[in-house]
Structure 1
């Protein structure tokens, strides 16, 4: 993989009717059992990210250990987390036995 500088930015839902609801981050956790290609593909399918945005998040999760993928209401955050958990193993790596991990945390400040 070529070394490219990338900065990943989370998606933020901009629905003013939800301004009073608390917001939550969907955070992807790093592991060594999934390739960059897997992460990019998963983010394209689940979040509709472009390849370059998926790559930016893949770099961030690999180098920092986590990346915030989306900030939204709790119901949508839990749905996206569950989709990540059910995405399945990375067929490119025989040691990959399951999906990546993600958590939902309150967005503070």
Structure 2
């Protein structure tokens, strides 16, 4: 007789096969309108922070101007918090003398 070990592999049960990873809830990064930031500022910010092309940045600038807010990104909570914080830290708009700081952004659950 040999001392070799034998490994027995059982097939996965139905419960184990059907188990799928849970998807993380999604959140919107919402940019809010104000009169102290130019379209150019928004376009540049969208390009630097989100790597959006100029056209997408302009589209977001127009939407925030017309609607009062615009969704910049839908992502996980942690990533949304990072992007919101980056918007808040982006700085003032040098094209508008009365501008004192960054634009406002929030995160909200995506529906």
Give the aligned partner of residue 28 of structure 1: 31
The CA distance in 2 between the partners of 1:73 and 1:21, in whole Å, is 6
3-state DSSP class of the match of 2:71?
A: strand
Residue equivalent to 1:13: none
Segments ≥4 residues shifted beyond 3 Å: none
Q: Distance in 2 between matches of 1:18 and 1:62?
A: 39
Give the aligned partner of residue 10 of structure 1. none
Aligned length: 92
Structure 1 unaligned blocks of 5 or more: 1-16
Deviation of the 1:87 alpha carbon: 0.2
- Specify the alignment match of 1:48 in structure 2: 51
5+ residue gaps, structure 2, are 1-19
- In the alignment, structure 1 residue 81 sits paired with structure 2 residue 88: no
Tell me the C-alpha RMSD between the 2 structures: 1.4
Which has more radius of gyration?
A: 2
Q: For residues 14-52 of structure 1, what are the alpha-carbon distances to aligned partners after superposition, in whole Å with 9 as ceiling and x for unaligned?
A: xxx986110000000000000000000000000000000
Under a length normalisation based on structure 2, what TM-score does the superposition of the two structures give?
A: 0.80
Distance in 2 (CA, whole Å) between partners of 1:24 and 1:18 is: 19
TM-score by length of 1: 0.81
Matches of 2:97 and 2:72, distance apart in 1: 26
Q: Distance in 2 between matches of 1:38 and 1:24?
A: 24
